[in-house]
Each structure stands twice: as C-alpha cells, then as structure tokens.
C-alpha cells in the first residue's frame, strides 16, 4: 500500500526525540511538500517537485494545510467513572485541592465510582472520550489505573484499557498506578496497602497479560513518601514494569531526584521542582512531563518550563485528562495553555507533544517524528502553519487524522 500526501503547505520535520532545550524551537520545515507512506511507515518526504513517481494506491490532498506528527498524550487517567464537577465548583469558591481531599473528597469520590462500575461500564464511559481525543489529533494515549485501589479493581481498569485498544484507532499504553493514594480502608497503614498491591502474582499477571508497561506512583504528602515510592517502583520493576513518578506536584519532596536516581522513564508534573531536582534530571535520561491543563484547571502556578528548557532538558507535555484536576481531553488545548501559561513557543509545544512525549513512553524510535521508517501517525491541519494549533484556542485545528498510514478521522472546517 503506497499513499502519497500531496499539496502540503508546510511540513514540520519534527526529529526523533528526545529533543533537548533550545533545539526544541529549531525544528525545520519544508514548504510546498509531499510525504510518501508505504504500508504503515513513512518512506519519503521532501519538496513536492521531488516526490517519487510510480503508482500510488491512495493520494491524500492536504489542500495547502500543515502536516505534523500525530500527538502523543503521554499522561492520562481517562478510564474512570463518576464526575467531580461539585468539587470544581468548591474550588472556585475558595477550597483547595488538598482541603477537599483531606475532607474525604477528591480522588476518593472517583475510587468509589470506579469500584461500583463493572468493566463494561468503564469501557462504555471511556470510549467516547477516546473518540474525541482522536478527533483532536491524539494518535497515542497513555492510560493509568489508580482509581480502583484493590487488586481486582486495578485489574478491571487495565483490562478495560486493553479492550478499548481494540475498539478504536487510538494506540493505548497501560500504566499500573495502584500507588495513587492510600484507600480509606487502609488509612494509617500505607505499608500494608503496598503489601496488597505488590503481591507477586498480581504483578506477574499485569506484565504477562500485557495489561501494563509502566508503573507510576504519586509521591506526595498524604499519598506516598520517598521511601514507599521507591519501594513500589523497585518491586514493580522487578516484574518488568518501567518506572514513572508523579513528582513535585503540590510540595517539593525530592521526588524528581528519586526519578533520576531510579532511571525513571519520566517525572511528571514538576510544578514545585527546585534547582537540585532540575540538575538531577539534567544528568539523567528521565523525561520531564509537564501538565499545563492541571495548573490551568486548579488555577495554580505552572511548572517552570523555561528553566527546564534552559537546563537543556527535553520537555514533554500531556493533557493529564482526569475527573478531578484536569478534565481536558484536547491536546491542542493543552498546547495552547502551554504557550500561554508555560511560555513555550508554539514549536516547542508541538515538539513537547510529539517527539518528547513519545520519549516519555519509551517510543521515540517509532512515534512522534517525521522520519523515514517511523510509524505514519500524522495530522493534516486546516491551516498552513503549526502555530495555529495554539493560536486558535477552542477551534479544532485538525482536518485529517492518519494512524498507521490510514486516514481514520476527518473533521469538517
């Protein structure tokens, strides 16, 4: 199968990640371009006049629009039940996220809803979210468990993720996050809870059944301290799950340094990271993942994106789609917030949502870039330049979504 994307107004040649520091804003472009797909891989790209001849099974007319890699949403909690709209209103009236959590609200509300839902219900609720994410350009999405907080409910969530992967076109990647918080029935007994969710047979099932590739922990006051976070990630790693950390979100705990010392694939949030944490990440291979929608949604101070870029780090961004702190499904909106509040340039934001986000999922070798041999996950935009993705806030900038070389979604103007 040979597919030619023709009449590309501008092709943004995002390189393979991780793309570090100032290089994030130095990505090259090709005007009046074309791109050839063979089967599900990028085979060639360049100026239109140099496009390979021969038979093409399909020609996609970009109609002068920009072509970029498919967006990689590398941090979500998109499989859940219930709503947290009431606490959204409470925060507008002055209550903080921690105050709501300590009063028994917050994540505990979602835990109760997920426990009450069966696997079919979780699938039914998540499917339309994923379809909307695809329509907005997300071609790969990471999905965490962490709202079940029992072995059975965590497995139920990750089985739902695996089923959803076969029901629609977004590529899904599962993450085991039983260490999201200590459930109410284990209040004051975090070690006993970790004993429960680190049981050997459970972890073996997660890995052998291809339910999870990563393990993640919320290292924060009221959740898991450094010692327990390290225990969780090391034990999961012993069973083949690669480490990630929710780090430095609400307080500075030293968790960014822990992420670096463990060789975590990513350290996510980082709103409260200090200079020591930045230095630790800068000497590691850990990808800093920033979640601008979360601080937008909570009206908090954003992560220090410019300091991270100045430290030559490969910054990634993600939606953090979840019912409590970032009910945002749209990666283009996430890009817009990253530009407006984190002060990324539009090109830096695009690289953060593609090449570096792919690196945060250990997939830089095949996703997130315009490179021969990479998987042909591509977006054709309505407008000629990628800056419109962040500029036209609220409009879906995506005209065509291409996954593995096939047009899988079209949006009207």
Q: Look at strands 398-403 and 406-410 and give their pairing.
A: antiparallel
What are the φ and ψ backbone dihedral angles of 219, each rounded to 5 degrees?
-90, 100
**pLDDT at position 337 over 90:** yes
Q: What domains, with CATH codes, occur in the chain?
A: 2-69+369-410 (2.30.40.10), 72-359 (3.20.20.140)
Task: Give percent above pLDDT 90 in the chain.
Answer: 95
Residues 371-407: pLDDT tens digits? 999 999 999 999 999 999 999 999 999 999 999 999 9
Residues 161-210: pLDDT tens digits? 999 999 999 999 999 999 999 999 999 999 999 999 999 999 999 999 99
Assess contact for 55 and 373: CB atoms under 8 A. no
Assess contact for 58 and 4: CB atoms under 8 A. yes
Residues 114-148: pLDDT tens digits? 999 999 999 999 999 999 999 999 999 999 999 99
Task: Give percent above pLDDT 70 in the chain.
Answer: 100
Residues 64-108: pLDDT tens digits? 999 999 999 999 999 999 999 999 999 899 998 778 877 888 999
Please choose, from the candidates 298, 289, 221, the residue with its C-alpha nearest in 3D space to the C-alpha of residue 254: 221
pLDDT at residue 98, as a whole number: 77
User: 399 preceded by cis ω (within 30°)?
Assistant: no
Give the pTM.
0.98
Assess contact for 36 and 378: CB atoms under 8 A. no
- What's the whole-number mean pLDDT along residues 342-346? 99
pLDDT at residue 103, as a whole number: 83
pLDDT at residue 97, as a whole number: 75
pLDDT at residue 104, as a whole number: 80
For the record, the structure tokens of 234 come out as 């090391």
**pLDDT at position 412 over 80:** yes
Q: How confident is the model at residue 324 (pLDDT cuts 50, 70, 90)?
A: very high
Please classify residue 83 by burial: count the beta carbons closer than 10 Å to its beta carbon, then call 0-12 exposed, 13-18 middle and 19+ buried: middle
Assess contact for 301 and 291: CB atoms under 8 A. no
pLDDT at residue 99, as a whole number: 86
pLDDT at residue 322, as a whole number: 98
Distance CA 65, CA 59 (A): 15
**pLDDT at position 243 over 90:** yes
Distance CA 186, CA 176 (A): 19
**Residue matched to tokens 């999922």:** 361
- What's the whole-number mean pLDDT along residues 405-411? 98
Tell me the average pLDDT of the chain: 97
List, in order, residues 6 or more apart from 8 with CB less than 8 Å away.
30, 32, 33, 34, 35, 48, 62, 64, 65, 66, 67, 380
For the record, the structure tokens of 278 come out as 């930045």
DSSP lists the bridge partners of residue 398 as 381
Write down how long the chain is.
413
């Amino acid at each position: 199968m040979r597919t030619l994307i023709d009449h590309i107004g501008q092709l943004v040649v995002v390189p393979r990640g991780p793309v570090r520091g100032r290089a994030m804003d130095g990505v090259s472009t090709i005007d009046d371009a074309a791109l050839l797909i063979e089967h599900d891989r990028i085979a060639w790209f360049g100026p239109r006049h140099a496009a390979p001849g021969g038979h093409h099974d399909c020609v996609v007319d970009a109609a002068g629009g920009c072509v970029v890699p498919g967006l990689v949403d590398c941090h979500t909690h998109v499989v859940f039940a219930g709503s947290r709209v009431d606490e959204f209103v409470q925060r507008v009236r002055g209550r903080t996220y921690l105050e709501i959590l300590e009063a028994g609200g917050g994540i505990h509300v979602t835990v109760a809803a997920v426990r009450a839902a069966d696997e079919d219900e979780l699938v039914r609720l998540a499917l339309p979210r994923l379809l909307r994410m695809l329509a907005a350009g997300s071609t790969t999405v990471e999905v965490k468990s962490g709202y079940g907080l029992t072995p059975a409910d965590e497995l139920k969530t990750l089985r739902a993720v695996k089923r959803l992967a076969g029901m629609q076109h977004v590529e899904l990647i599962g993450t085991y996050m039983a260490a999201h918080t200590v459930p109410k029935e284990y209040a004051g007994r975090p070690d006993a809870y970790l004993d429960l969710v680190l049981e050997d047979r459970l972890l073996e099932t997660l890995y052998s059944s291809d339910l999870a590739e990563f393990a993640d922990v919320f290292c924060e006051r009221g959740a898991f301290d450094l010692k327990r976070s390290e225990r969780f990630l090391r034990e999961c790693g012993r069973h083949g799950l690669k480490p990630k950390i929710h780090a430095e979100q609400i307080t500075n705990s030293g968790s960014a340094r822990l992420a670096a010392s463990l060789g975590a694939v990513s350290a996510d949030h980082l709103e409260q990271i200090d200079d020591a944490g930045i230095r630790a990440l800068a000497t590691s291979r850990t990808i800093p993942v920033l979640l601008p929608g979360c601080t937008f949604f909570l009206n908090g101070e954003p992560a220090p994106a410019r300091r991270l870029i100045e430290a030559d780090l490969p910054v990634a961004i993600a939606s953090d789609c979840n019912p409590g702190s970032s009910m945002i499904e749209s990666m283009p909106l996430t890009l817009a917030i990253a530009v407006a509040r984190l002060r990324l340039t539009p090109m830096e934001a695009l690289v953060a949502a593609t090449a570096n986000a792919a690196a945060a999922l250990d997939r830089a070798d095949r996703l997130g870039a315009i490179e021969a041999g990479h998987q042909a996950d591509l977006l054709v935009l309505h407008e000629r330049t990628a800056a419109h993705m962040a500029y036209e806030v609220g409009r879906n900038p995506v005209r065509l979504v291409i996954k593995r070389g096939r047009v899988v979604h079209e949006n009207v103007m």
